[in-house]
A and B are shown apart, each in its own frame.
Chain A
């Protein structure tokens, strides 16, 4: 038992030395997750803080100016042009010089004063319909405030019901709060899985695997010795991303670190298990790497990181059951933002356990089988 443990430790130490000794490979493991977390933390947001728009004010009235001033004053919109003719709209939208055109028709103020209500036409560039939709929503809330102010001043009856809205866990509804905790799993998956898959393939290519097999190492010890270093690297990477989230983006951490790391460990175990399984299929390092790409891509697209799982068709949702990243993202987000405890995470934890168990036993079967 002790011998076995010492052998695993020796292999772990050797793996870590092989990976971390060379400065270039050390940096290539530690820097990218943090840099990506930083860049994508800024880039990966559906929130808009800079919406370009052009105004086509055909009314030229106090009311229309007041409305446009409200738009300008919101801090999100930047007026890039004042259009003169409706035919200019296409010029601005087509050339992507403005995301929106706000068009106010001739009788705007007259209609408002007559108490009938007036329209604000919003023309949006729908090439990225999601961005356009969000921008239109922003216009909506500016108009709502304008309505409340105008209605109060001019004696309009307020709407019978008002919606009082609150968002839990993310009061200002910032996408970043949602994205970055999700990246803890995503950014670690890529390199953890590849590292594991390639470390066995490398030994095979260089002939050292035979050397390992003739030593007293048992197959499970080799697997453990390969899994531990990758998990350690994964844990360090995850910690890096976690630190970026807290220290750089100041996203408050609500949960318990113990719970978070427990979930991460299970996730890494499953990821490493899949990596080992791949490595037992691949003959060369190149194959190991390409096969891991073949898995990593669907895994990260179908993880719920950028698009919600619930919007996918049912058959695809079932398919995501084998995606460890899906559970990891759910765990990290909920523990991070909501402080969810282990008891509520069971629905994520047991599939991870199952995935880890299946992939690891599959890999160890393959290891023994390939010796035929």
Chain B
């Protein structure tokens, strides 16, 4: 019975070393204002910005309405534009001033009702001109849709007055699943979670190993009974917990501030997030123990984690429409899988056909990174 006791002692010593390293790291985090800034303040700022600031909704679009001849039909059309909640029309009598407004970005588009409008309405071949500012293509397209809609409403009223039969052969009926009300915080919140997790996981850890190298603290640490996996664990755990706090903040604000539903199970969301944090931590640690220089480490981490999480994860832009090369890159990035998981668990529920493959991908990445960090973290100075 001697051996088990011995093994027990060894395990005990190991646990104690890990606990000591975790405490040390936690103290350092708590005493460094800049870590707090990145770990707590920045997530809060992001939550506020995402909740209140970012929106792709188009409302109150300033447009110029040029009426060459104010006939009854033309004025009715103008009225229907004025009634639309989407527009803030400015009535003008000639094109040149309207064009100037467009050039100066005072309006986003010009609706022109030509002089012979009423006559052509009678003949059934009337035209209304729309010039949109094409700079922001997404917005331009939405404006086109709104003007079309306002015209439709006008036609329907005309039809109701018995002047025209206004039906079209096929009309499109749409249903937006998971987000019936087309609420943009529904799709921004998953993105928010990704950014916050990436930030805490990647950026903070990228600096910590490099900092130990630069300050010379690692040399003394290495010549102790500490094993390299213990150093790694000691570095990972505090930031893991910090990331979970950030996660809790995000989920709470999603639920109670922005009223985004959580249709899947919380444990699924939590486990997926923990996996992603591990991956982000792994990337940070790997970069950090590889470059040994805080400046380069932080820039590199910014490049490989944060920017892709924003641009290449599919939370804002649809990845299916990118060229094959970019898609291949996106498959190598963990954010892609996490966004898919978040969108599904938050909005669609526990769809296992989405959850299982994406979770597996994250798990594989986490395992590979753990092995990689372990290999990079040798106990020598060479």
Contacts and interface: CB of A to CB of B under 8 A. Distances in A.
Interface of A: 24-25, 28, 32, 36, 39-40, 42-52, 67, 93-96, 99, 112, 115-134, 136-137, 139-140, 143, 146-147, 150-151, 154, 156-171, 173-175, 177-178, 190-191, 194, 198, 202, 285-287, 289-291, 293-294, 297-298, 301-302, 306-308, 310-313, 316, 330, 333-334, 337-338, 340, 344
Interface string B14-47: 0000000000000000000111011001100110
A129 B186 contact: yes
A298 B49 contact: yes
A117 B170 contact: yes
A134 B165 CA distance: 29
A294 B37 contact: yes
Nearest to B42: A294
A230 B240 CA distance: 36
B133 A137 contact: no
B183 A129 contact: yes
Contacts of B347: 126-127
A120 B322 CA distance: 28
5 contacts: A24-B296, A51-B321, A119-B171, A126-B182, A134-B138
Interface of A is mostly: helix
Contacts of A175: 137-138
A162 B129 CA distance: 8
Contacts, number: 327
A177 B168 CA distance: 34
A163 B38 CA distance: 50
A49 B324 CA distance: 12
Contact of A95 (B37, B42, B296, B354): B354
B137 A173 contact: yes
Contacts of B322: 42-43, 45
Nearest to A290: B34
B359 to A, nearest CB: 14
A28 to B, nearest CB: 6
A333 B53 CA distance: 22
Given A52-B320, A120-B170, A137-B141, A160 B127 contact: no
Interface stretch (B219-227, B249-257, B299-307): B299-307
Interface stretch (B2-10, B56-64, B267-275, B371-379): B56-64
A40 to B, nearest CB: 5
Nearest to B57: A311
B1 interface: no
Interface stretch (B101-109, B280-288, B360-368): B101-109
A134 B38 contact: no
A34 B324 CA distance: 19
Nearest to B130: A165
Contacts of A121: 173-175
Interface stretch (B89-97, B145-153, B231-239): B145-153
Contacts of A313: 52-53
B134 A170 contact: yes
Contacts of B151: 161, 163
A287 B300 CA distance: 17
A147 B164 CA distance: 17
Contacts of A143: 170-172
B179 interface: yes
A293 B39 CA distance: 12
Interface string B184-202: 1011001000000000000
Contacts of A139: 172
Contact of A164 (B102, B127, B171, B303): B127
Contact of A120 (B34, B172, B319): B172
B186 A126 contact: yes
A284 to B, nearest CB: 8
A93 B130 CA distance: 35
B155 interface: yes
Contacts of A334: 105, 135
B135 A170 contact: yes
B242 interface: no
A91 to B, nearest CB: 8
B295 A127 contact: no
Contacts of B148: 163
A211 B103 CA distance: 53
A136 B176 CA distance: 9
Given A127-B190, A132-B176, A158-B124, 13 more contacts: A39-B312, A43-B311, A112-B169, A112-B170, A117-B170, A118-B170, A125-B178, A128-B187, A133-B176, A167-B137, A301-B49, A311-B57, A333-B135
Interface in B334-382: 340, 343-344, 347-349, 351, 353-354
A121 B172 CA distance: 6
B248 interface: no
A282 B186 CA distance: 38
A164 B130 contact: yes
A131 B318 contact: yes
A123 B175 contact: yes
A45 B321 contact: yes
Contacts of B103: 338, 340, 344
Given A47-B137, A311-B57, A289 B170 contact: no
Given A47-B137, A311-B55, A119 B127 contact: no
Given A24-B296, A170-B140, A39 B329 contact: yes
Contact of B127 (A48, A123, A161, A291): A161
Contact of A311 (B56, B132, B166, B315): B56
B140 A43 contact: no
Top 5 closest pairs, chain A to chain B, by CB: A170-B134, A167-B134, A126-B179, A290-B34, A126-B176
B79 interface: no
Contact of A285 (B126, B169, B295, B329): B295
Given A43-B312, A168-B131, A291 B177 contact: no
Contact of B184 (A46, A129, A146, A177): A129
Contact of B187 (A39, A43, A95, A130): A130
B363 to A, nearest CB: 19
Contacts of A131: 318
Interface centre among B207, B348, B353 (most CB of A within 10 A): B348
Nearest to B183: A129
